[in-house]
């Protein structure tokens, strides 16, 4: 993206029939199979004029993130698809070395101990990917549907709709600096510093349980909720004394079922949350904090108005199937056909979703 261009965080969804694809996480073979089952060619053309919409998290954990990105970017450039920003793309844009994204930073053959064989890129290939990620909007919507990676948060969406901004990263970093300034003036900041001095060395040690750190939890919530891009790409979070270990550290905040308080009439499509594809409780291998879908049927719409749907069916955990930790077929890549509200999986299986409450105009 050149210095003369501006960044638009909110874009319009195409009119007509859509296929909203969940988090792909580098599973190129699954993406190719899903696109074929949906009736698209490799360039994203559909004989009925349907359009693809990707909810973000194209990369990380799977064996071929570069191929997934090239395929989706080509579809977007040709005008056959829309892709929004996920938290995994944001991590790479920010230079964050995270669990599962070594494919971007390490050249040559990679065999990750956790994720298995992973295709990497050269240094020369990094900037085009960064340019593509930097162009991705956070929200795509029209009068009938909203698509966002993790959560619909009205106040955050309103801030982003006030754009355009010089760049995504500039906006993000300015919000981060503002949040840091607010935190340092907060009355709990000294308590936070004391907790960090006592416990920071142990936060990344799974073998040693860390107690609930109240001031740290408070600051983590403030950091999360003060940045609109964070909220919309990784969700609403709140302090919770039921601590757990995830992503290499002990957590003192939990993801919140924001959809239970969502009362707008416009349906929302999300990814991010690793929805259980089976009609049973999540296995320990898939557990990442509290199960937000406990009590919700695998293919049901959810939320206060039954008009929110998570289309992420855990394909990001397919490396566990390859390692033999999970039985084959437990993870799936899914697309929701709109307005038909039918799920199509990379296996070719089709399932009609349930529980959607139509509102006038939907």
pLDDT, residue 4, reads: 45
CATH architecture of 14-152+262-362: 4-Layer Sandwich (3.60)
pLDDT, residue 249, reads: 82
Q: What is the pTM of this model?
A: 0.92
pLDDT average, residue stretch 175-195 = 92
Q: C-alpha angle with apex 268: 240 to 100, nearest 5 degrees?
A: 60
313-345: per-residue pLDDT in tens? 999 999 999 999 888 888 999 999 999 999 999
pLDDT, residue 27, reads: 98
Burial degree of 100 (CB within 10 A; 0-12, 13-18, 19+): buried
pLDDT for residue 142 is more than 90: yes
pLDDT, residue 359, reads: 66
Yes or no: say if 289 and 331 are a contact pair by the CB < 8 Å rule.
no
Nearest to 93 by CA among 172, 178, 177: 172
Yes or no: say if 326 and 283 are a contact pair by the CB < 8 Å rule.
yes
Burial degree of 266 (CB within 10 A; 0-12, 13-18, 19+): middle
Nearest to 204 by CA among 245, 249, 251, 243: 249
Yes or no: say if 151 and 133 are a contact pair by the CB < 8 Å rule.
no
pLDDT, residue 245, reads: 83
- Going from N- to C-terminal start, the domains of the chain cover 14-152+262-362, 167-258
């Amino acid at each position: 993206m050149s210095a003369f261009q501006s960044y638009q965080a909110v874009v319009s969804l195409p009119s007509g029939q859509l296929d909203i694809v969940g988090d792909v996480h580098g599973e190129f073979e699954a993406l190719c199979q899903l696109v074929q089952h949906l009736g698209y060619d490799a360039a994203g053309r559909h004989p009925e004029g349907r359009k693809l919409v990707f909810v973000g998290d194209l990369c990380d954990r799977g064996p071929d993130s570069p191929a997934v990105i090239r395929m989706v970017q080509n579809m977007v450039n040709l005008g056959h698809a829309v892709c929004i920003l996920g938290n995994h793309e944001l991590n790479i844009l920010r230079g964050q070395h995270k669990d599962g994204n070594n494919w971007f930073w390490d050249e040559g053959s990679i065999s990750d101990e956790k994720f298995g064989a992973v295709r990497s890129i050269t240094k020369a290939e990094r900037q085009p990917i960064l340019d593509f990620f930097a162009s991705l909007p956070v929200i795509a919507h029209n009068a009938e549907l909203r698509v966002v990676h993790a959560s619909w948060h009205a106040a955050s969406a309103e801030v982003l709709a006030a754009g355009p901004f010089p760049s995504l990263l500039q906006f993000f970093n300015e919000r981060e600096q503002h949040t840091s300034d607010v935190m340092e003036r907060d009355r709990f900041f000294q308590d936070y510093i004391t907790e960090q001095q006592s416990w920071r060395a142990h936060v990344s040690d799974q073998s040693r349980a860390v107690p609930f750190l109240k001031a740290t939890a408070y600051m983590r919530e403030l950091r999360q909720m003060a940045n609109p891009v964070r909220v919309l790409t990784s969700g609403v979070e709140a302090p919770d004394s039921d601590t757990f270990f995830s992503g290499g550290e002990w957590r003192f905040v939990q993801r919140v079922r924001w959809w239970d308080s969502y009362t707008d009439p416009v349906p929302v499509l999300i990814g991010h949350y690793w929805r259980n594809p089976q009609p049973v409780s999540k296995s320990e291998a898939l557990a990442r904090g509290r199960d937000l879908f406990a009590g919700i049927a695998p293919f049901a719409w959810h939320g206060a108005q039954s008009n929110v749907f998570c289309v992420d069916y855990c394909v990001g955990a397919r490396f566990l199937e390859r390692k033999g930790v999970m039985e084959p077929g437990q993870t799936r890549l899914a697309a929701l056909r709109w307005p038909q509200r039918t799920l199509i999986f990379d296996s070719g299986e089709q399932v009609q979703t349930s529980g959607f409450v139509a509102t006038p105009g939907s």
